[in-house]
Amino acid sequence: MWPRTLFGRTALIIAVALLIAQSTFIWLAHLSFSPLRTLQLTSLLENSAAVTSAALRTLSPGEKQAFLRNLKTHGLRVTTRKPAAGGEPAPFFGPIVRALGQHGYPAVAAPTSTGVRFGIRLDDHHWITLVVPGRPPVLPWPRLGFLAIGLIVTGVGALLLVRRVNRPLAALAAAAASFGEGRDPAPLALDGPTEITRVCAAFNRMTADARQHERDRALLLAGVSHDLRTPLARLRLAVELLDADGELREGMIQDIEEMDDILAEFLAYVRHGVGEHAVTGDLNSLVEDVVARYARRGLGIRFMPSAIPAFPYRPLATTRLVTNLVDNACRHAGGQDITVMTNCSAVSAEILIADRGPGLSAAQRARFAQGSIPGEPHRRGLGLIIARRIAEAQGGGLALEEREGGGLLARVRLPLVPPSVEGAAGTQTHGLQDLGKGTETGE
Predicted pLDDT at 207: 86
pLDDT above 70 covers a percentage of the chain that reads 76
Same domain, 278 and 418: yes
Number of compact structural domains in the chain: 2
The tens digit of pLDDT for each residue in 356-380 reads 988 888 888 888 887 666 655 444 4
Same structural domain, 426 and 341: yes
Closest by CA to 131, choosing from 101, 105, 111, is 111
* 288-303 residue pLDDT tens: 999 999 998 888 999 9
| Same structural domain, 240 and 324 | yes
**Range list of H helices, 282-378:** 283-295, 315-333, 362-369
* Residue 309 pLDDT: 93
In a domain, 11, yes or no: yes
At 282 the pLDDT is 94
User: What's the pLDDT score for residue 338?
Assistant: 92
Q: Collapse the DSSP code of 418 into the 3-class scheme (helix H, G, I; strand E, B; otherwise coil) and give the result.
A: coil
pLDDT of residue 433: 36
Torsion sign, CA atoms 257, 262, 266, 271: positive
Q: With a cut of 50, list the residues of the chain below it in pLDDT.
A: 139, 377-380, 421-443
193, part of any domain: no
- Are 378 and 232 part of one and the same domain? yes
Compute the residue count for the chain: 443
Residue 91 lies in a domain: yes
Q: Supply the CATH number for residue 324's domain.
A: 3.30.565.10
> What is the domain range of residue 272?
210-442
pTM listed for this prediction: 0.48
Which among 143, 176, 192 is the end of a domain?
Answer: 143
The pLDDT of residue 298 is: 87
Residues whose CB is less than 8 angstroms from the CB of residue 94 and which lie 6 or more positions away in sequence, other chains included: 88, 109
420 inside domain: yes
In a domain, 205, yes or no: no
CA angle 122, 124, 125 (to 5 degrees): 85
